[in-house]
Chains A and B, each alone.
Chain A
Amino acid sequence: MKSFKNHISLVIALVSILFSLQIFTIVDRSIDAYKENLAKNYSLVIVSQKTVQNKDMLNKIKELASIEELSPDSVIQKLNTGISQKNIELLKVTLPKFYKFKLKKYPTPAKLEKIKKLLLQYPYITKVETFSNTHDTTYKLLLLFKNVISVLAVLILLVTILLIFKELRIWQFKHYERMNIMGLFGAPTWLRSAVLFRLSIVDAFIAFGISFVVFSYFSSSIWIAEQFENIGISVVVFDKIYDSLLMLGVSIVVSILLASFIVLGHKEEV
């Protein structure tokens, strides 16, 4: 019971740090996945007097993913009342060409503006339609969502830091006497603080273990998978290797920092 109490408060603080970190990661991934999704459905329409050299264009403008010529047939079909076949052929030649440009990533409004300028530098490109109004709204919505989540994550972090500082004082008080006495008998710093570092590393592993189990459960949860499916994206909730290593690293670094603060702040009483 006593040793349980020794561990619980630091473990809680560490777990809450790891949770906010992982949730932030998940949101970040969802937004990226959503952006990709948007990029897939988003395209620019270009009007050109000449056939566009696909390879050239793709090389010059790195943001482009693909170029697709829009066939004018459907437009011509509509005009197809009383026009002779010969005239239609003529029309086909004189009519400008229409292209659909797809982008690799969903662009920021600034980037979109840049791409548009680049395209208009070609003398034969007469018009670039970016559908910027709809684009702007979607983009702003996405940013808002990300900002709200970031603010939340920062708030959780602040609360956790407060928790950790409170814990720091308790630890300082609890370990002070023993460290002081060991120092009076000439124990070097590493020996005086060995218990402290052992405790904090054990706590780091416990906190990591708890977070690992919880997020492993989440990542296999059908309900959560359904939520992502509903907005048409698939997200890695918990990468058992990459995310695990990150969590373990953060957990150990934070608890070792905490222990170091105590060791560095230790002063012998007179």
Chain B
Amino acid sequence: MDKVIIAENLSLAYSKDETIINKANFSIDSGSFVFITGASGSGKSTLLKSLYGSLKPIEGSLVVGGVELRGVANAKLNFLRKHLGIVFQDYKLVKEWTIEKNIMLPLIINGYEKSIIQSQVDSLLKHVRLKHQSGKYPLELSGGEQQRVAMARALAHNPILILADEPTGNLDDYSSQLIWNLLEGANEQLKTTVIVVTHHIPEAMKIEYKHYHIEFGDIHEVI
């Protein structure tokens, strides 16, 4: 099976004196659904940052979608990022844009046609139950609503890899289930690889998944 992520001897750090991930080895099959768990501060968000190229490895190698991220050039990184769908732990919505425009962002970057963008955004807004809020600005929404906007944005351009950092962290059971259904749907129907950082793996998962745990700077699979 194709590997969408291959990490060898991967070390991550923000400063020289403290490594967060230490010589980790793991690989992720293309089309799989992966949960990542770990205590607060263990390095889950840090690992995701390295997967979308914000934090470069200080040691070892990290290949995502065929692109070596250690010392990657900007143009190549932009190319990779166009095919990623990221839900950030702090959402990272553009405050001065309506939520509709926020969801359009990856579609605009990927150069989609106007009419396709509009219909895609309409259907996403419906899926995350925010149709009636489309003209509002992020700060006019609740935390959970902003999180759903971030989810819709990550799905908009049918990415090959979705990286979601606690996408249900602020949601009630009903909205959480909505998100899980969307992620499962993308994985099942579009064969999108999905990597989700979470504290609770939902009990009612309908599909097969893998589970990695981060502890003491190491990443290991939980079987």
Contact = CB atoms under 8 A, between A and B. Distances in A.
Given A184-B81, A270-B49, A178 B96 contact: yes
B105 A186 contact: no
Contacts of B97: 178
Nearest to A175: B96
Contact of B109 (A182, A268, A270): A182
- SS class, residues of chain B in contact with chain A: mixed
Contact of A270 (B55, B77, B78, B83): B55
Contacts of B81: 183-186
Contacts of A123: none
Among B14, B55, B88, B94, residue most surrounded by chain A Cβ atoms (within 10 Å): B94
B48 to A, nearest CB: 11
Contacts of B75: 188
B27 interface: no
A191 interface: yes
Given A177-B95, A270-B49, A270-B55, A185 B14 contact: no
A268 B106 contact: no
A54 to B, nearest CB: 72
Contacts of B78: 183, 186-188
B49 A186 contact: no
12 contacts: A178-B96, A178-B97, A180-B92, A184-B54, A184-B92, A186-B77, A186-B78, A186-B83, A186-B109, A187-B109, A188-B75, A270-B49
Interface residues of A, number: 15
Contacts of B95: 177
Interface in B27-55: 49, 52, 54-55
A187 B74 CA distance: 11
A185 B96 contact: no
Nearest to B83: A186
B80 interface: yes
A185 B80 contact: no
Interface string A145-186: 000000000000000000000000000000001101111111
A178 B78 CA distance: 16
Contacts of B94: 177-178, 181-182
Contacts of A268: 54
B82 interface: yes
A157 B206 CA distance: 68
B86 interface: yes
Interface string B88-119: 10001111110000000110110000000000
A181 B14 CA distance: 20
Interface string B170-188: 0000000000000000000
Given A184-B81, A186-B81, A268-B54, A191 B109 contact: yes
A183 B52 CA distance: 11
B79 interface: yes
Contacts of A181: 92-94, 105
B14 A186 contact: no
* For the complex of A and B, 10 pairs with smallest distance between CB atoms: A186-B81, A186-B82, A186-B78, A187-B109, A178-B94, A185-B106, A181-B92, A270-B55, A185-B109, A270-B54
